[in-house]
Structure 1
Amino acid sequence: MSLGQQLAPHLPFLRRYARALTGSQSHGDNFVRATLEAVVAAPDEFPRDVEPRLGLYKTFQAIWQSTSDDREGDSAGEVGSSSETIAQSRMARLTPVSRQALLLTAMEGFSNEDAGYLIGESPARVDELIDEALSEIERQTRATVLIIEDEPMIAMDLETIVRDLGHDVTGIAVTRDEAVAQAREMPPGLVLADIQLADDSSGIDAVGDILSEITVPVIFITAFPERLLTGQRPEPTFLITKPFQRATVKAAISQALFFDRSTLPE
C-alpha cells in the first residue's frame, strides 16, 4: 500500500483538528494542504517509525510550530482577519501548545504519550498543559447556548455539560423549525447541532437558516464526521463525533468560543 493510501483515511480528521486549532475552515485546510505538499516533496522524511496517522499529525505539527505566533494562519496563504486578531488577544494569555495538547487528546483521541510525541513534551507535561488550557479558556469564555438535538438523553447530557461549564442554555430544539424559532426569540452565543433531526429535517439546514440572520459559532455533532469533511461543499469548522466524551464537548465549546468576538473579556 502506498503512503498516500495509508494517509487518506486520516485526512478528514486532520482537517477537523486543523480547523479547530486555527478557528477557520480556510486556514485549517491551508495548513493541511501544506502538510501534504511537504509529504509529497520529501517522502523519505515522513516518520516511518510510528503509525501513519501519528506520522501525518507529526508532519502537520512541524509546519504549525514553525509558524510565528504573531502571524498565525498567514504563512498558510491567507491574510489575517478580525477573528485572528481576537484570537491573538487570547493567545497572549494562553500558549498555543496548551491548546494543541487539549485538542489532540480530547478531540482527536490521542493518548498523552502520543500527544507528547506530537508536541515534543512528556506525558506528564501534557497533563499539565491540558489543565492550563481548560482553566484559562473557561475564565475567558461564557455564552448562551442553543442545543439542536432530537435524542432526549443526548440533549440532556449536552445541557448538563454546557451548564457545568458555566454557560446558559437558551433552549433545546428537536426540529429545524423549532431551532430557527428559538434562535429568533433568543439569539444564542453558540449553537450545538445534530445533523439528523426528529422530523427528518436537517440540522445543517437549520444552522443555515440561523446563520442567514445572525452570526454565531456552531459545533456540529455527528456519528460520521468524515461525511462532512469531503471538500465538496461548505463544511463545519468545529465537529464532534458521536458517541462523544465529556472532554471532547468541553474542548470543542471552549475552542469555538475562543475565536468568537462576543466573548472577548472587557
Structure 2
Amino acid sequence: MSAPQMALRVCDVRVSLDGQEVLHDVDVSFASGRWTSIVGPNGAGKSTLLRALAGLLPTKGSVFLFDQDLQALDHKLRAQQLSWLGQNESASDDLRVWDVAMLGRMPHQDWLAAPSAHDYAAVETALKATQAWDWRERSLGQLSGGERQRVLLARAMAVQAQVMLMDEPLANLDPPHQVDWLEQVRCLTSQNTTVVSVLHEVGMALHADDMVVMQAGRVVHQGACADAATHRAVEDVFDKRIAIHLLDGQWVAVPKL
C-alpha cells in the first residue's frame, strides 16, 4: 500500500513571539483528505502552529503545502489552495452576509472583475451548508455571535480550497450547530478536503481522524483518534484531569475530580 499524500508538512519549525520562542523544532505532517484536530492545554502553541501552517507568522524552518515551499508559493495560488478561519475573525458590521461570504471567492477572481456564475454558486452552497442562507441580505452587525461564526465559516468554505485551517471554529456555536459543523467537516473530507482544526473541546476533537497533541510548544504525540496511545497522551498533557472512555460507540472526554 502506498503512503498517503501529505497536504501539509512542517520541518524543524520554530516561531518566536515578542522575542520568546513559543514553538520549538516542530516536525509534523497532515495527511491529505483527512481531518486532524490539534489539542493541548492553554499555552501549548496550538494556535501558533496553525498560524504557521497558514503562512501568517515568520518562521524558522520549512512549511510545505503539497510538497511546495509555502513561502515560495504565489500568494494568489496559496489563497486558492489554503483557506483560513481564525479566532475572533473580524468583518465590517455594515457588510451584508452575502458579501462577507463572497469575500471567500476573491482568490479566484481577477482584479475588479465581477463574480462569475461559479462564484455565486459556491457562495450559495456555503451559506446553505452553514444554515446562513436566510440571512444573506442582513448586515453582519444584526447577527448574534454564533450566527456571525457560521457566516465566517461560510466565507472559508466558499474558497473551496484543498486545505482548510480552523482555529476554535466552535466558538459561540450552540450544541446543535456544533453537530452541524461536524457534519460539514465530514462532507469536506469525503470530497478529499484536508481539515486541520484547533479545538478546546477534547470530546469534539476526538471525532477527527487524527490528533496532534501539544505541550509547551512541542508536538508530544500524533496518532489516530481511536488509538489508546493517543488517549494516554491527551490525558497526560491535561495532568490526568480528564479520562477518555468509549460511550455508545463514541470516544468521550470525562473530567476527573
TM-score by length of 2: 0.30
TM-score by length of 1: 0.29
Of Structure 1 and Structure 2, the greater strand share is in 2
Of Structure 1 and Structure 2, the greater helix share is in 1
